[in-house]
A and B are shown apart, each in its own frame.
Chain A
Amino acid sequence: MPSIRQHSMRISASTDELEKIRSFVASHAGEFGFSETDVNDIVLAVDEACTNIIKHAYEWNPEKNISVSVAFRNNEMLVSIIDEGKPFDPGSYQTPKLEEQLKNKKRSGYGILLIRKLMDNVEYRKRQSRNEIRMTKKR
């Protein structure tokens, strides 16, 4: 049986907690033996997911919480991020086009694009009031 190592932390839904969550993810991804480039990718993907939850799911309400857990198994890291805010519908997402965004002075939608580029797999799950993003990256 391969051993599973898992670590969790909870933050309040506030942007001043982002640094804390980045350090948490960086330290565990480093322990799991990821290269510096991969650690940077995972950290950015988690930051983007948490930022989207703070902005869109909880609409800047810092009294809400976000749970982040990381697990490592079979050379793969799984990151699970859970919130209880407004659910995100991945079906409604349209990839932003930079040139058009600049013309229209818009800047949204890039977090999801980055997450998809940086991680190997991304899934969204919803169970009652709980939303979960599950992202994986192979070492």
Chain B
Amino acid sequence: MSTFEISNRTRSDVIIMDIQGELDAHTAPRLEEKLQKLIDEKSVQIVVNGTGLEYISSAGLGVFMAYIEEIRELGGDIKITNLKPKVFNVFDLLGFPTLYDILDTEEDALKRFQQSV
């Protein structure tokens, strides 16, 4: 069975979501649940740190697609960082880099949030 872990921490009022393992149709609902919870709490400045993300399919990308508009409408954003090249490649194939901030490091994402205040 696919292994997938999510844990949240906070840096400068931004939620950092560390995701690890494999994000596929089996594990995507767990990410969805966590994002929904953050929206309910109005914690909408989110960095998804993908250092430990080994695999993503369109079901995983679909979660980012489904929530980004709502998060932006609430004045927030999801910025994605630290992707392995093989995982970035899947985001790239579907054109994500034009509509999402995909950055090298967590610090880059935090700076972007500071600049947008």
Chain A positions within 8 Å of B, measured between CB atoms, are 15-16, 18-19, 22, 36-37, 40, 44, 47-48, 51, 54-55, 98-99, 101-103, 105-108, 110-111, 113-114, 117-118
Within the complex, which residue of B58, B70, B98 is in contact with A111, where a contact is CB–CB below 8 Å?
B58
Contact A105 B66 (CB under 8 A): yes
In the assembled complex, the Cα of A15 lies from the Cα of B23 at a distance in Å of: 11
B58 and A37 form a contact (CB under 8 A): no
Determine if B95 and A98 form an interchain contact, defined as CB atoms under 8 angstroms apart. yes
Query: How many B residues have CB within 8 A of the partner chain?
Result: 27
**A48→B68 contact, CB < 8 A:** no
B117 at interface by CB-CB < 8 Å = no
Q: Is the CB of A51 within 8 A of B59?
A: yes
Q: A103-B69, A114-B93 are in contact. Are A15 and B24 (CB under 8 A)?
A: yes
Partner of A113, one of B22, B62, B66, B94: B94
Distance, CA A55 to CA B99, complexed state (A): 27
Interface residue ranges of B76-117 to A (CB < 8 Å)? 86, 89-90, 93-96, 98-99
Interface residues of B (CB under 8 A from A): 1-2, 22, 24-26, 55, 57-59, 61-63, 65-66, 68-70, 86, 89-90, 93-96, 98-99
The answer to whether A51 touches B24, judged by C-beta atoms less than 8 angstroms apart, is yes
Q: In the assembled complex, which residues on chain A have CB atoms less than 8 Å from the CB atom of B2?
A: 16, 18-19
Task: Check A51/B25 contact, CB under 8 A, given A98-B95, A110-B58.
Answer: yes
Q: Is the interface of B mostly helix, strand, loop or mixed?
A: helix
- The residues of A that contact B99 with a CB separation of less than 8 Å are 98-99, 102
Can you sample 27 A-B contacts with CB below 8 Å?
A15-B26, A18-B2, A19-B1, A19-B24, A19-B26, A37-B86, A37-B89, A47-B24, A48-B57, A48-B58, A51-B25, A51-B57, A99-B99, A102-B65, A102-B68, A103-B69, A105-B65, A105-B70, A106-B66, A107-B62, A107-B63, A108-B62, A110-B58, A110-B62, A111-B58, A114-B93, A114-B94
A36 to B25, CA, bound (A): 23
The reply to whether B65 and A106 contact each other, CB–CB distance below 8 Å, is yes
